[in-house]
Structure 1
């Protein structure tokens, strides 16, 4: 209780601690609580500057990084393939977005140094995450600081726009990502996905489709559900199961552990292994098992069984009496959660799309 009170006090104390938001503890009870506190903390700081209407928050398919006392913002919409860099600074309306553009273009592939939950600058090290996903005004990929600075200056001098907002005036630049930006991100994780698929006896297309559905291959993905990274692993549920049942480790994974792409993909794949070989091992037909595993990844094993009956044993019996097509229909029309119904449809669509693309290459 003392720790929870201390965290709340830090959050409520405002500007005195706005450079140092609270760290995430490792207990399962506090992991989800604190990710919400961290997100709410950033939201409070940003809304104070931008207002409710112009506030943008990081999410599963959206990278958002605030800088400069929360007055400057970089926002990547991975679904639309757009990058928006904007500032409220009236004194240096070119300098702040220029710096934010460079920070965004060179942000590391490893989210460990991203500083998502503060306005601190990103630590630029290693291969840029967006390499190949954005080309400069000469059509060249941006890997080095000099080229990022050069392109940022070009954008500021030729494409800096303004718009009135409730709290004043915003200066902004819009950058269009390459047409194959999604494929470029997929390539980054191909080897990790292949290794995880072999390690846990899964198909590569399943892991690809889950990542595309969960995060659009955004390793910085976060959610208020307390999920992290590419496969949106929740520490206290899937993470805890993997640690305890597969890794033989005590406790649950930290956010730092799950922000690492290799750990995240391994943990997500290991959870599918648990679903396949433990929680849903009594599902007899392999196609019905496939549908059930995907649905359970989003809505839990309990949600899958509740689709068929309130009693788990009767539910499993009914599920096994159905043809795979009937199981699919039930899970996409009768699952207790609407999100889980759509989730199965989306993942299967991406799996089909992935396999068709592989065949045409």
Structure 2
């Protein structure tokens, strides 16, 4: 009888243990399911958040392009009443107009000269007028130029309004646009006047019979471009060191992109010394710099240090991410230069007809660096990029000596 009780008790204990184990397992499974569900909700939330971010970024860049195009059109229509050629600022030319629109002022950073165009109502184009106009250009700082530019102002406001949480803005500095012409960062009015007088003595006049417009061309000092490059050298070295790219490459790219015009812009739109495109290179570079892509506004990109950092960061991305499969550093360098102008996909297309850079790298790695350079000079899809590669490569040796 005792044995039977024992057996019954044992069976009951075993059943209890099994029930307890099953319950524990059931609770664990429930806990595991709840954790998996929580993780899935987190992933879904992150995915939804990322989708919203991507949508907002794309919308902001659409605003960038549309506001730029609209602002350019509006400004040209405004100037068309005064000028047959209503030129606006570009990559290598900074263009301003007098308040009454009678005088067009152009600083050509690539040609290293200033051009003044005067309508008849501007007055007699004598030495006093020329000195006055040169004094105006020489004493203009970046902040004033930015504030006086309707196109940049319109784009800045439109982008900041379209993407308040994504737009990266900064106060534009008060450094002189042509500060390299002076020994001091803040020259006195007398020093500005002295340089204006020196430049005016070499002015060359011509007149358009059709429009009655007088054109005055003023050559800038031959050493000015080298001094301009020196002005940016400390910032170039700092960014190049941080992002592990060659300083000479940054300078050669900058020279070719903008001729060191700190107010450079182009219809892409791209802005600043290294012509950063907010929706492509700017997106990749800010993601590397800030940990999350930002929409960089004109004011941000007109800051030399910030522009140079993003340009160097993008060269780093090309070198270590998009083109990392290219083994020879010189071949990779040529492809980096071309890709900075046209994108890694177009570099790949010149080799394989597709944008697959991994497949292209196989062919690139089978050729010598010189063979790859010659290939790119002939086969890149656009003549602009073929010429761009040649100019950057030609400028590298000079900047390696700095």
Taking structure 1 as the reference length, the TM-score comes to 0.79
Larger Rg: 2
- Correspondence 1:336 to 2:381: yes
**Alpha-carbon distance in structure 2 between the residues aligned to 1:117 and 1:165:** 31
The equivalent of 2:280 in structure 1 is 237
The equivalent of 1:306 in structure 2 is 349
The equivalent of 1:320 in structure 2 is 365
Q: Deviations over 1:264-314 (max 9, x none)?
A: 100111101111111111111111111111110001010011111134143
Q: What does 1:222-233 align with in structure 2 at a 5 Å threshold?
A: 222-233=265-276
Unaligned runs of 5+ in 1: 1-24
Q: What does 1:1-361 align with in structure 2 at a 5 Å threshold?
A: 27-52=60-85, 55-88=86-119, 90=121, 92-93=123-124, 99-109=132-142, 113=146, 115-117=148-150, 126-133=174-181, 143-149=187-193, 161=205, 163-164=207-208, 166-167=210-211, 169-311=212-354, 312=356, 313-355=358-400, 357-358=401-402
More helix by share: 2
**Does the 8 Å contact 1:298/1:340 carry over to 2?**
yes
CA drift of 1:329 comes to 1.6
Residues 119, 308 of structure 1: CA spacing in aligned structure 2 closer, same or farther, 3 A cutoff?
closer
Higher mean C-alpha deviation, range 72-81 or range 292-301: 72-81
**Does the 8 Å contact 2:285/2:293 carry over to 1?**
no
**Alpha-carbon distance in structure 2 between the residues aligned to 1:308 and 1:49:** 49
**Alpha-carbon distance in structure 1 between the residues aligned to 2:188 and 2:222:** 22
Higher mean C-alpha deviation, range 297-306 or range 101-110: 101-110
Structure 1: 4+ residue segments shifted above 4 A: 91-99, 109-112, 124-127, 149-162
Q: Deviations over 1:301-353 (max 9, x none)?
A: 10011111134143222222222222212111111111111111111000023
Higher mean C-alpha deviation, range 176-185 or range 60-69: 60-69
Residues 158, 224 of structure 1: CA spacing in aligned structure 2 closer, same or farther, 3 A cutoff?
closer
CA drift of 1:160 comes to 8.8
**Alpha-carbon distance in structure 2 between the residues aligned to 1:158 and 1:338:** 36
Residues 291, 118 of structure 1: CA spacing in aligned structure 2 closer, same or farther, 3 A cutoff?
closer
**Does the 8 Å contact 2:283/2:295 carry over to 1?**
yes
**Does the 8 Å contact 2:273/2:308 carry over to 1?**
yes
**Alpha-carbon distance in structure 1 between the residues aligned to 2:232 and 2:213:** 36
**Alpha-carbon distance in structure 2 between the residues aligned to 1:141 and 1:239:** 30
**Alpha-carbon distance in structure 1 between the residues aligned to 2:303 and 2:316:** 20
Residues 175, 214 of structure 1: CA spacing in aligned structure 2 closer, same or farther, 3 A cutoff?
same
**Alpha-carbon distance in structure 2 between the residues aligned to 1:111 and 1:219:** 13
**Does the 8 Å contact 2:91/2:266 carry over to 1?**
yes
The equivalent of 1:15 in structure 2 is none
Higher mean C-alpha deviation, range 277-286 or range 202-211: 277-286
SS at match of 1:318: helix
Matched positions, count: 323
The equivalent of 1:19 in structure 2 is none
**Alpha-carbon distance in structure 1 between the residues aligned to 2:60 and 2:185:** 42
The equivalent of 1:3 in structure 2 is none
